Amino acid sequence: MSNTDSKTPPKGDRIAKIMARAGLCSRREAERWIADGRVTVAGKVLESPAFNVTDPSTVRVDGETLPVTETTRLWRYHKPPGVVTTDRDPEGRPTVFEKLPSSLPRVMAVGRLDIASEGLLLLTNDGELKRHLELPSTGWTRRYRIRVYGRVEPEKLAGIAGGVTVEGMHYGPIQAKLERQEGANAWISIALREGKNREVRRVMDHLGYSVNRLIRTAYGPFQLGSLTRGGVEESPSRVLKDQLGKKLAARFNFANRRR
């Protein structure tokens, strides 16, 4: 089933965008669901995500209609160590989403923190917002405090300010500063923009320092602050709208919230 053959631009929005906006999943997940044959439009199984929908009421996922598009919202969550940032874990480990209050709607994590890491994790009910905030081009700085084993040489930390390549993977500029040395361990503050998978741990290993604690303290303008471990707090929409800018914010459903 495809509507991309016409020479005129198709009306409506791409199916993955509609599913993400409904808070079901991210665009990437939507594409996987379509490939698995879980999505129908007007009773026909969708074969490709290259499909525009003008009437979302005709869309079914696993036989169910799409939920009503909710107001775009964002939460700060203090992720504890020992939980994974996935909906389901094949190894049966506890997940972030199992730990969240039942009062929250269905949410998605913006980026990830690995099981041993802790600190600020942003949550949203809008798959489009999740996608935007995860893009490196968004340019938001991620900040961390890490504890490493080893005697840290400031010169080594200065050497990654222009970026570094580790085992064929290039990482962009990383600002790293020694806070203090405590015997065999040291605390380092880190600031970076890309946030690739296990970036901080891999780069520190490359420098000869083993990370034994990693805390994300900020994601763009949003701070961990005094949020207690396991705590969740909704962020004011006005802060997010200010950061997105008027033109981009207009793409999201902030209209009915006075926060």
Residues annotated as part of the active site: 114
90 within 8 A of 84, measured Cβ to Cβ: no
Question: For residue 153, how many other CB atoms are within 10 A of its CB?
Answer: 14
Percent helix, strand, coil in the chain, to 5, is 25, 30, 45
For residue 227, give Cα distances in angstroms to 143, 187, 222, 233: 16, 21, 11, 8
Question: Which candidate, 26, 24, 27, places its Cα nearest to that of 62?
Answer: 24
CA atoms within 13 A on the CB side of 237: 16
104 within 8 A of 121, measured Cβ to Cβ: no
Enclosing H/E stretch for 210: strand 210-219
For residue 203, give Cα distances in angstroms to 110, 208, 220: 22, 9, 21
